[in-house]
Amino acid sequence: MQRFCTLAFVLGLILMVFGLTYIFPIATSLYFDDGMTNHFLRGMSINIGAGGILAASTMRFRGDLKTRDGYLLVAFFWLLMASAATLPLLWGIPGLSFTDAFFETMSGFTTTGATVLVGLDQLAPSLNLWRHELNWIGGLGIIVLAVAILPLLGVGGMQLYKAEIPGPVKDSKITPRITQTARLLWLVYVGYTLLCIICLYLAGMGWLDAICHAFSTLSLGGFSSHDASIGYYNSPAIELVITIFMLLSGMNFATHYTALHHASIKPYFLDPEAIPMLGLVAGSILLCAFYIWHFDVFPDFFTGLRYVSFNTVSVATGTGYSSTDYAKWPAFIPWLILFLSGIVPCTGSTGGGIKMFRALLLWKQAGRELFSILHPRAVNPVRIGNTPIANQIIFAVLAFIFLYFISVVVMTFTLMFTGMDPVTAISAVMACINNTGPGMGSVGPAANYAHLNDFQTWICAITMLLGRLEVFTLVVLFTPAFWRK
Q: Which residues are annotated as a binding site?
A: 111-112, 220-221, 319, 435
Pairing of strands 387-388, 383-384: antiparallel
Helices then strands, each counted (H, E), the chain: 21, 2
**According to CB under 8 A, which residues from 148 to 167 bind a second copy?**
153-155
Task: Kindly report the length of the chain.
Answer: 485
Rounded distance between C-alpha atoms, residue 285 and residue 409, angstroms: 28
Residue 455 makes contact with a second copy by CB under 8 A: no
Given the complex with a second copy, which of 238 and 469 has the nearer CB atom? 469
Q: What is the nearest approach in angstroms of a second copy to the Cβ of residue 251?
A: 24
Extract the annotated binding site for K(+).
Answer: 111-112, 220-221, 319, 435
- 376 by DSSP, 3-state: which? coil
Binding span for a second copy by CB under 8 A among 16-24, 229-237, 399-407, 431-439: 399-407
- 205 by DSSP, 3-state: which? coil
Q: What angle do CA 126, 130, 132 make, to 5 degrees?
A: 120
Q: What is the nearest approach in angstroms of a second copy to the Cβ of residue 329?
A: 11
Q: What is the nearest approach in angstroms of K ion to the Cβ of residue 344?
A: 12
Q: What is the nearest approach in angstroms of a second copy to the Cβ of residue 211?
A: 37
**According to CB under 8 A, which residues from 38 to 77 bind a second copy?**
68
Rounded distance between C-alpha atoms, residue 226 and residue 209, angstroms: 10
How many other CB atoms are found less than 10 A from the CB of residue 385?
A: 12
Residue closest to 142 by CA, chosen among 408, 457, 473: 473
Q: What is the nearest approach in angstroms of a second copy to the Cβ of residue 263?
A: 38
Binder of K ion out of 108, 113, 276, 445 (CB under 5 A): 113
Residues 434-453: x where in contact with K ion by CB under 5 A, - otherwise, as a string: ---x----------------
Cβ proximity of 318 and 436 under 8 Å: yes
Q: What is the nearest approach in angstroms of K ion to the Cβ of residue 230?
A: 13
Cβ proximity of 263 and 252 under 8 Å: no
Give, as one character, the DSSP assignment of residue 250.
T
Binder of a second copy out of 30, 56, 202, 409 (CB under 8 A): 409
Given the complex with K ion, which of 318 and 444 has the nearer CB atom? 318
Strand partners, 384: 387
Which residues would be at the binding site for a second copy (CB under 8 A)?
68, 153-155, 291, 330-332, 335-336, 339, 362, 365-366, 368-371, 373-376, 391, 394-396, 398-403, 405-406, 409, 413, 416-417, 419, 421-423, 440, 472, 475-476, 479, 481-482
